[in-house]
Amino acid sequence: MSSTATKEIWQAVCRLLGISEQPNLSVMHLQEIESEAENLLELLTVLRTDTYRSDAAAAQETAAELTIALEHLQHHIQELLPTLQKTLDLEP
């Protein structure tokens, strides 16, 4: 079972923080960031296991999956970060 928070929790987070610009989009990005972060941790564990077993082919495949996951995470972070910075009055 995943520990990913539900949409309702992220909606509550956005309300609590005062995110008023496209709150549904911010909720979606938060959900994706959390999900992808969990995926990254799993992939890092698999990559360590591949390396421990000296399985170069598996490590290369896992590293490719890790790269794709990082790109996906980066996209959602880049989309959400300006909203968070503006809402929290933080300099970029």
Rg, C-alpha atoms of the chain = 16
Range of the domain at 14: 7-87
| d(C-alpha 89, C-alpha 66), whole Å | 33
Position 2 pLDDT exceeds 70 = no
pLDDT confidence tier of residue 20, bands split at 50, 70 and 90: confident
Q: Is residue 1 part of a domain?
A: no
Using alpha carbons, select from 30, 9, 36, 15 the residue that is nearest to residue 80. 30
In a domain, 2, yes or no: no
pLDDT score for 16:
96
- For 29-45, the pLDDT digits (tens) are 999 999 999 999 999 99
Residue 33 lies in a domain: yes
Position of tokens 């564990």? 45
Q: What is the rounded distance in angstroms from the CA atom of residue 71 to the CA atom of residue 8? A: 26
In a domain, 14, yes or no: yes
Q: Into how many domains does the chain fold?
A: 1
pTM of this structure:
0.87
